[in-house]
């Protein structure tokens, strides 16, 4: 239900609820999106432990093209890449067997500003450590992806909750949904958009990404 309350908050505050992680370099924020197992956690950790400032690991609110992070724990299935990344004294066992819980605010430096202008949007899709592919994509392509894999109402299937809130008022439902898509479109059109498939643990790859996004 927390997603529902985030959606309601953004509707009332004329903002946008996205499933997206975010970090910043030099007061410029990058949002990154991706389907399950696309490498978002590794990407975020690799960047934030090498100069980026943490904003959010899972959810974001965007208003007037500025992102506000939402605090939430990181659930991680330990793998070899975790070794040396996290302070073991600040790792907690997860609810599910084999998972650990990490508080990103204990692990990463945060940007002190309450909101950061979004400059870049990256769609992640880790294809293997041997693949390093970074390319600009059109706003149209980024928008199509983001609408299905990042827009909160679609990702968390909140459409029925919203229709219930509006007491089956189809006109009001349509008005609010159209506004969400318009805000998402405006955000994307004001950003540089990239597709990235890269091993961020590789220093050469990481330095290229940092140079691009900073």
pLDDT digits (tens, 9 = 90+) for 14-23: 999 999 999 9
Q: How many domains are there within the chain? A: 1
Per the structure, the complete domain to which residue 48 belongs is given by: 2-213
Which structure tokens are listed for 199? 């091993």
The arithmetic mean of pLDDT across residues 64-74, rounded, is 86
Residue 9 region by backbone torsions, left for phi larger than 0, else alpha for psi between -120 and 50, else beta? alpha
Question: Among candidates 26, 23, 17, which has minimal Cα distance to 214?
Answer: 26
Which structure tokens are listed for 69? 């992070």
Ranges 61-65, 82-86, 97-101: which has the least confidence = 82-86
pLDDT in tens, 167-200: 999 999 999 999 999 999 999 999 999 999 999 9
CATH code for the domain of 93 = 3.90.228
Residue 38, SS3? coil
The angle formed by the CA atoms of residues 194, 112 and 33, to the nearest 5 degrees, is 25
Question: Among candidates 17, 22, 14, 20, which has minimal Cα distance to 5?
Answer: 17
pLDDT in tens, 11-60: 999 999 999 999 999 999 999 999 988 889 889 989 998 999 999 998 99
Burial label for 171, CB within 10 Å (0-12, 13-18, 19+), is exposed
């Amino acid at each position: 239900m927390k997603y529902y309350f985030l959606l309601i908050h953004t509707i009332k505050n004329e903002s946008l609820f996205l499933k997206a992680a975010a970090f910043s370099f030099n007061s410029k924020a990058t949002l990154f999106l991706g389907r399950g197992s696309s490498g978002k956690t590794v990407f975020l950790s690799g960047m934030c432990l090498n100069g980026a400032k943490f904003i959010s690991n899972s959810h974001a609110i965007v208003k007037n093209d500025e992102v506000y992070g939402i605090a939430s724990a990181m659930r991680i299935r330990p793998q070899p890449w975790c070794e040396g990344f996290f302070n073991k004294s600040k790792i907690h066992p997860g609810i599910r067997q084999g998972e650990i819980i990490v508080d990103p605010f204990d692990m990463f430096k945060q940007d002190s500003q309450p909101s950061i202008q979004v400059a870049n949007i990256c769609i992640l899709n880790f294809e293997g450590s041997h693949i390093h592919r970074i390319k600009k994509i059109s706003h149209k392509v980024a928008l199509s992806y983001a609408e299905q894999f990042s827009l909160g109402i679609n990702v968390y299937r909140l459409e029925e909750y919203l229709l219930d809130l509006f007491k089956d008022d189809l006109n009001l439902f349509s008005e609010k949904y159209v506004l969400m898509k318009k805000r998402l479109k405006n955000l994307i059109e004001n950003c540089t958009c990239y597709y990235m498939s890269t091993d961020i643990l590789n220093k050469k790859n990481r330095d290229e990404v940092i140079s691009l996004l900073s």
